[in-house]
C-alpha cells in the first residue's frame, strides 16, 4: 500500500505540520489503521477511499480516531490532486464532522470546516498551574482555549503535559493577539497529550476554535494566523458567521512517498 507524507500549511519541507496519507481502494481494519498510525509516529495519519463522487476520509492519532483534522485534510487533498485526480479543483470529503469541501486555487488549498461554539469558563487554579500564568480569558468547546496577554508568552510557553492532561477539553490551545505591525492577527500553539501528541505543529481544527474567537475580538472576518511551534505554520482564515463555517487556506509540500508492507 502506498503512503505519502506531506507537510501542510507551509511551502517548505520540514515546516508546517506533517501528515501521512493513504489513498486506498477499500477499507482495511481499524486496528491496522491504528497500527500504521502508531508506526508513523506523526500527529495524524489520514486514510481515504473514494465512494461514488466523494472520498470517505478518516483521521487517526496514536491515541485513536478523531472527529476533525485540518492539516491531514489539506495533505489528503494535496495527494489526490497531485497523484490521483490531477484535473480536479474541488474535493468533497465524507467525514465524522459531515461533508468537508476543499477547493484547489493555484498552490493554495481552501478547506471549509464547521466552526466551534466557544463558551467562556472560569479561570481555575488548575488552569493557572498547568500553563504557569493566569490567562486573560478561557473558553471551551471540543478543546480548551486560553487567551494570554501577549505573543511572547505564547512563544516561550513550556508545557507540562501531565498537568495539561488533567484539564477539560480534548486539546489545549494557547493564543494571543500579535503586535499591530505584524502581518498576522493572532498567534497560537496547540497541545494534545490526551491523544499522545505533545505539541501539534499546526492545528487546523484548533483554528476552527480560534478564528471565531479572534474574528469577534478584532471585528474582522478574515484572520491571518501564525502557529508558533518549532516547525511553524501559516493559515489564512475566514469566518462565515451565517453558516457557522470557517475557511482555512494554506499550502502543502511533499516530503516522501513510501510503500507499506502489510
How far, in Å, CA of 173 to CA of 180, rounded?
22
How far, in Å, CA of 60 to CA of 234, rounded?
23
**Long-range contacts formed by 123-126: CB under 8 A, 24+ apart:** 126/163, 126/166, 126/167
Q: Which of 243, 169, 180 is CA-nearest to residue 206?
A: 169
Residue 24 bridge partners (DSSP): 49
Q: Parallel, antiparallel, or unpaired for β 222-227 and 186-192?
A: parallel
- Residues designated as active site: 44
How far, in Å, CA of 250 to CA of 39, rounded?
27
H or E, element range at 129: helix 125-131
How far, in Å, CA of 138 to CA of 119, rounded?
8
How far, in Å, CA of 223 to CA of 213, rounded?
10
Rounded to 5 degrees, what are φ and ψ at 68?
Answer: -160, 135
Q: Which residues contact 24 (CB under 8 A, 6 or more apart)?
A: 1, 47, 48, 49
Is 199 in contact with 190 (CB distance < 8 Å)? Answer: yes
Amino acid at each position: 500500500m502506498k503512503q505519502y507524507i506531506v507537510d501542510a500549511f507551509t511551502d517548505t519541507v520540514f515546516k508546517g505540520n506533517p501528515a501521512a496519507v493513504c489513498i486506498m481502494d477499500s477499507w482495511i481494519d481499524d486496528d491496522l489503521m491504528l497500527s500504521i498510525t502508531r508506526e508513523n509516529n506523526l500527529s495524524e495519519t489520514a486514510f481515504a477511499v473514494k465512494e461514488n463522487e466523494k472520498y470517505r476520509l478518516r483521521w487517526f492519532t496514536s491515541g485513536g480516531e478523531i472527529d476533525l483534522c485540518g492539516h491531514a485534510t489539506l495533505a489528503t487533498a494535496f495527494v489526490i490532486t497531485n497523484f490521483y485526480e490531477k484535473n480536479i479543483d474541488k474535493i468533497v470529503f465524507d467525514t465524522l464532522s459531515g461533508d468537508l469541501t476543499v477547493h484547489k486555487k493555484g498552490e493554495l488549498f481552501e478547506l471549509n470546516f464547521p466552526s466551534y461554539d466557544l463558551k467562556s469558563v472560569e479561570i481555575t487554579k488548575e488552569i493557572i498551574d498547568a500553563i504557569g500564568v493566569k490567562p486573560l480569558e478561557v473558553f471551551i468547546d471540543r478543546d480548551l482555549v486560553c487567551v494570554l496577554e501577549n505573543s511572547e508568552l505564547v512563544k516561550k510557553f513550556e508545557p507540562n503535559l501531565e498537568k495539561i492532561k488533567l484539564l477539560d477539553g480534548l486539546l489545549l490551545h494557547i493564543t494571543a493577539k500579535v503586535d499591530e505591525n505584524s502581518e498576522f492577527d493572532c498567534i497560537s500553539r496547540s497541545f494534545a497529550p490526551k491523544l499522545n501528541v505533545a505539541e501539534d505543529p499546526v492545528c487546523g481544527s484548533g483554528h476552527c476554535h480560534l478564528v471565531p474567537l479572534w474574528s469577534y475580538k478584532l471585528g474582522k472576518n478574515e484572520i491571518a494566523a501564525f502557529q508558533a511551534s518549532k516547525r511553524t505554520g501559516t493559515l489564512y482564515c475566514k469566518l462565515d458567521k451565517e453558516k457557522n463555517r470557517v475557511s482555512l487556506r494554506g499550502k502543502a509540500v511533499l516530503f516522501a512517498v513510501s510503500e507499506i508492507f502489510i
